[in-house]
Amino acid sequence: MPFLAYIYYITPFKNKCKGFEQIFSTLFVRVLILLSGLLEKTDCEAVLTVYNGCMENSSIEKFNVEKLTTQQEKQLNAIEAFIQDHLYDEGPVAVGVIRGAAGTGKSVILTELFKRLQHGARTQTGPYADTKNVFTVNHPELLKVYQELAAQQPNLKKKDYQRPTSIINQAHKTGQRYDAIVVDEGHLLLSKPEPYIKFYGDNQLSELMKIAKVVIVVFDFEQVMQSKAFWSPALLDRVTASATVQNFELDLQYRVHANQAVLDWLAALGRGELRPLPEDLGAYDLRIYDRAADLYEAIKQRNAEVGLSRVMATSGFKRLGNGDHAVYMDDFCLPWDEYDPQKTPWAERPESINEVGSIYTVQGFDLNYAGVILGPPFKYDKKQQRMWIDTDEVTHREIYKKSPHLQKAGEIAQMQSDVMLHAASILMTRGIEGLYLTAADDELRQALTTLQADWKRKNASMDEKI
């Protein structure tokens, strides 16, 4: 068997992309393709199949797209105009707030924006010549992707991408100032002191504003996940009251390949509303399972076919008797994801198919197919026909720490419910091509599966009439 085919076929299927990256560099692949006339056709096809599969399922490639859409280019031009208007004026700090729901391409636009900023800064050309800029995200898995991206781009460096606390504390120590600070996932910025990680300010956005001429920050209030990073439109307005502010709205859905009726159904469920399934699901693969074990088998099959398909769950599963932290129901039992300092994001690691992901490992990322288990806190109210949150069953109590921005009992209760619904919504919108859903609570699971059964009966009846 020729050499390349041998390398391809001895690499385990589930690990082909990982093995391929370890064996071949991108440059070497291109050389092989150029020399394809010297190779057997099957070898070239094998190389291209693995290479293209790896690239399509790479977070770096999803963020660092070759070409923006016309709408994205228009939005980015407006953001750049705002930056250039305020880089050299003597007025207050300028804050550009990019608002957009999950999957609206926020990270794509920020990636291209920062590449343009640093190209000008490092090549000493254009409006960004001689500027000092930094990019920050308060999410360790996303930070890995951005730092890996920096290693592949000529005018980016790993040190350009840092956690916000590191930037803030270094500025306090050295007096460092920046022309532009770009903030992804601004809704994850701390909104209260957190001495455990050496942050002592009132909130991280205010501290970043103190050390920059321009701050560009992404906000999606439907992705606020815990009280120590609690943000609301009113709080954001108060924090930015002394700044020159401009809002930029992103409203096109780029991740979930579904029609508007399906998108509306997913959004409603994220608010606790159980609506009948849309009559037309289009090409989107929406399935509701009575058993998590069956859901897992389906996700494994999808992962074998197209890769980047994983099971995820919300909080609420108590530790097993031996102390292990796992997600379990019916015949299903897998360990939770664990933070790993390796560069590869959780969902792209082959072994993570045998784990259950969480918002801490998948927020901000795309999957091809998402399997989602709504944990025990998600209940069903038969009278209201709504999903509700039993906050007493939330096991990750860290998300409910006291916040100076929430004092009234009603506000606190609302926040405690909202952040769990946000978590569910985030997980349910990870899948590009499909969502496979179940729930640990018997009554909620029955309500969901009934929706699917009703949809099947209705469609079967329509097919008979046709």
pLDDT of residue 396: 82
Give the whole-angstrom CA distance, residue 122 versus residue 383. Answer: 62
Give the whole-angstrom CA distance, residue 437 versus residue 434. Answer: 10
**CATH number of the domain residue 95 falls in:** 3.40.50.300
Question: Positive or negative, the Cα torsion across 314, 315, 317, 323?
Answer: positive
Q: Using one digit for the tens of pLDDT, what is the confidence trace for 369-388?
A: 999 999 999 999 999 999 99
Give the whole-angstrom CA distance, residue 109 versus residue 69. Answer: 10
pLDDT of residue 400: 79
Helix ranges (DSSP H) in 226-358: 233-239, 260-270, 292-306
**Structure tokens given for 15:** 């690990």
Q: Is residue 35 part of a domain?
A: yes
Q: Using one digit for the tens of pLDDT, what is the confidence trace for 315-346?
A: 999 999 898 899 999 999 999 987 667 778 89
> Are both 303 and 171 inside the same structural domain?
no
> Are both 10 and 71 inside the same structural domain?
no
**Structure tokens given for 81:** 């105009």
**Structure tokens given for 41:** 């056709």
pLDDT of residue 227: 87
> Are both 37 and 162 inside the same structural domain?
no
Beta strands in 314-423 (DSSP E): 326-329, 332-335, 356-357, 367-374, 378-381, 386-389
| Percentage of residues in the chain having pLDDT higher than 70 | 86
* Chosen domain end from 232, 250, 268: 250
Q: Is residue 14 part of a domain?
A: yes
Q: What is the pTM of this model?
A: 0.82
Give the whole-angstrom CA distance, residue 303 versus residue 368. Answer: 8
DSSP 88-104: S-SSSPEEEEEEE-TTS
Q: Give the pLDDT band (50/70/90) at residue 29.
A: very low
Of 314 and 52, more confident: 314
**Structure tokens given for 125:** 């050309």
> Are both 321 and 425 inside the same structural domain?
yes
For residue 299, the one-letter residue type is: I
Q: Is residue 365 part of a domain?
A: yes
- Look up the domain containing 446 and give its range: 260-465
Q: Is residue 30 part of a domain?
A: yes
Number of domains in the chain: 3
* Chosen domain end from 215, 250, 285: 250
Q: Give the pLDDT band (50/70/90) at residue 259.
A: very high
Q: Is residue 34 part of a domain?
A: yes
Lowest mean pLDDT among 99-103, 290-294, 387-391: 99-103
Q: Give the pLDDT band (50/70/90) at residue 261.
A: very high
User: Which among 202, 133, 190, 192 is positioned nearest to 164, based on CA atoms?
Assistant: 190
> Are both 267 and 121 inside the same structural domain?
no
Strand partners for 183: 136, 217
The angle formed by the CA atoms of residues 51, 53 and 57, to the nearest 5 degrees, is 120
Q: Report whether 38 contacts 324 (CB < 8 A).
A: no
> Are both 100 and 203 inside the same structural domain?
yes
User: Which among 186, 14, 156, 179 is positioned nearest to 87, based on CA atoms?
Assistant: 179
Secondary element (H or E) of residue 321 = none
Of 59 and 149, more confident: 149
Q: Is residue 95 part of a domain?
A: yes
> Are both 423 and 334 inside the same structural domain?
yes
Q: Using one digit for the tens of pLDDT, what is the confidence trace for 108-152?
A: 999 999 999 999 999 999 999 999 999 999 998 899 989 999 999
Q: Is residue 255 part of a domain?
A: no
Give the whole-angstrom CA distance, residue 427 versus residue 90. Answer: 43
Secondary element (H or E) of residue 290 = none
> Are both 328 and 373 inside the same structural domain?
yes
Q: What is the mean pLDDT of residues 8-19?
A: 37
- In this structure, what DSSP letter does residue 110 have? H
> Are both 31 and 87 inside the same structural domain?
no
The angle formed by the CA atoms of residues 446, 262 and 441, to the nearest 5 degrees, is 20
Give the whole-angstrom CA distance, residue 61 versus residue 150. Answer: 12
Give the whole-angstrom CA distance, residue 347 versus residue 349. Answer: 6
Q: Give the pLDDT band (50/70/90) at residue 403.
A: confident
Q: Give the pLDDT band (50/70/90) at residue 45.
A: very low
> Are both 211 and 282 inside the same structural domain?
no
Counting Cβ atoms within 10 Å, is residue 287 exposed (0-12), middle (13-18) or buried (19+)? middle
> Are both 273 and 301 inside the same structural domain?
yes
* Chosen domain end from 192, 216, 250: 250
| Percentage of residues in the chain having pLDDT higher than 90 | 67
Give the whole-angstrom CA distance, residue 169 versus residue 208. Answer: 10
pLDDT of residue 25 exceeding 90, the answer is no
Q: Using one digit for the tens of pLDDT, what is the confidence trace for 279-304?
A: 999 999 999 999 999 999 999 999 99
Mean pLDDT of the chain: 86
Give the whole-angstrom CA distance, residue 424 versus residue 38. Answer: 52
Give the whole-angstrom CA distance, residue 39 versus residue 8. Answer: 14
| Per-position b or e across 413-430, b if 16+ CB within 10 A of its CB | eebbbbbbbbbbbbbbbb
> Are both 419 and 272 inside the same structural domain?
yes
